[in-house]
Amino acid sequence: MLFHFKDQFPHLSTYWDKYLPHQKRLEVPAKTILLEEGKVSQQYIYIEKGCVRAFFNNNGDDKTLQFFFENEGLTSLPSFVNDTPSDITIETLEPSVIYLLPKKYVSQLMDEVSHEPGFLKMMLQIFARRQMHYSSLLISFIRDTPEQRYQNLLTERPHIVQRIPQHYIASYLGVSTVHLSRIKSKLAKGKPHF
Amino acid sequence: MLFHFKDQFPHLSTYWDKYLPHQKRLEVPAKTILLEEGKVSQQYIYIEKGCVRAFFNNNGDDKTLQFFFENEGLTSLPSFVNDTPSDITIETLEPSVIYLLPKKYVSQLMDEVSHEPGFLKMMLQIFARRQMHYSSLLISFIRDTPEQRYQNLLTERPHIVQRIPQHYIASYLGVSTVHLSRIKSKLAKGKPHF
DNA sequence: TAAACTCGATAACATATGTTATCGTTACGC
DNA sequence: GCGTAACGATAACATATGTTATCGAGTTTA
């Protein structure tokens, strides 16, 4: 959060600089849990290297909601803001380098910076974008078949398909691994690439 | 928007009062289009009596996103804010009494009221709530079967099931009318009510 | 290197859901 | 009142998707 804002709103950078030293740097292997479903989010997560996924567990099988990569920040917003148990788990998919900023510093920073004229407009932008993201995802779920969603992923976010193991992709698309395999082989037949 | 805010933030009511006279009152029959897909949203819609639905068209069949009832306000936010063509259609489902407030007054009101200390916090609340709504809808689509979603609707928003014709409910749940009928008869078998 | 594990493909079968068509009921315009 | 359209139930069939099991190729670990 704080971190990409720094690029977008350089005039507020003195605030960011003041708090960056409070971050904790971590090098972790793949499959490390950064936030566990049911616990309260205590820090904001920033990814320097590697990637993570956010998912929730439903009767033993994972449902992946989102992937995050280098230079992205995340947390469970409702848990972080309201001190409620998180409904999602966040785990690394590759060996990663991440930074954690404890919640109390985030709050302090928010309080300080909220007096800045640009800040609230910025927050609105963030929220509007986030809403767009969720609503377009929702619309895609309602409107498109899994095959279309997979093709969208291929054209619009190919780095995900290249980098993420396929069964996580299936979980993200909302289909079984078997069915994603079928989709792929069907597409391969229709469009030979030689 | 403006209208429920008036209840929640009475200290800002002088602002609302100033702009309410600019609304246009309309009595319309059922199936009246209030905003058409592809056109730019020009006014904010408030429902005094009746109900409407927001939907988009996909190859001839409707996909309903949301229902709105008395004392609720709506518009296509992206279209309204960015002057872009709306991706949804808004139409009445019953004979309705609605109020329209042209966009220019909404903008003026926003500008005036944005200096109020409470305003931006209020906007953040609104957006956070909206995001929760979208994300929980999305999670429900990912996690639950149509049957579970229908039961959720029955328990959490029974007024919708009672009031809205069933084929719109099917469109809202993302299933065919036939399948919703099957779901209902299956539930009726499991739980006889005599 | 052997064993264990991860990942992905595929087949066979089961279930969920869509499509089309038909029918009966109700509501509504004329 | 009559004709028509809207609404919903149901059947028959087609397609999409899930489940389970098996196989094989890499990778990691001891």
Q: Which residues contact A142 (CB under 8 A, 6 or more apart)?
A: B63, B65, B141, B174
Percentage of chain B exceeding pLDDT 70: 88
In a mutational test of the B interface, the residue from A134, A137, A171, A172 whose CB has the highest number of chain B CBs within 10 Å is A134
Q: Which among A102-116, B8-22, B145-159 has the top mean pLDDT? A: B145-159
- Give me the residues paired with residue B157 across strands: none
pLDDT digits (tens, 9 = 90+) for A56-107: 887 777 889 999 999 888 888 778 877 889 888 999 999 899 999 999 998 8
Q: How far apart are CA B50 and CA B174, in angstroms?
A: 24
Which DSSP letter does residue A31 get? T
Which of A63, A124, A134 minimises the CB distance to B131?
Answer: A134
Mean pLDDT, each 10-residue run in order, chain A (194 residues): 61 80 90 90 91 85 90 83 86 91 87 72 70 81 92 94 95 95 87 47
The pair of structure tokens assigned to A124 is 């609105």
Residue ranges and CATH numbers for the domains of chain B are 2-143 (2.60.120.10)
To 10 degrees, what angle do helices B177-190 and B166-173 make?
Answer: 100
User: Is any atom of nucleic acid chain C found less than 7 Å from the CB of residue A179?
Assistant: no
The pair of structure tokens assigned to A165 is 């193991």
**Closest of B128, B41, B114, B71 to residue A128, by C-alpha:** B128
Residue-level pLDDT at A168: 95
Residue-level pLDDT at A193: 43
Backbone angles phi, psi at B136, to 5 degrees: -70, -35
Contact B130 A131 (CB under 8 A): yes
Q: How far apart are CA A37 and CA A88, in angstroms?
A: 5
Are the beta carbons of B105 and B19 closer than 8 angstroms? Answer: yes
Length of chain B: 194
Residue B59 has pLDDT above 80, yes or no: no
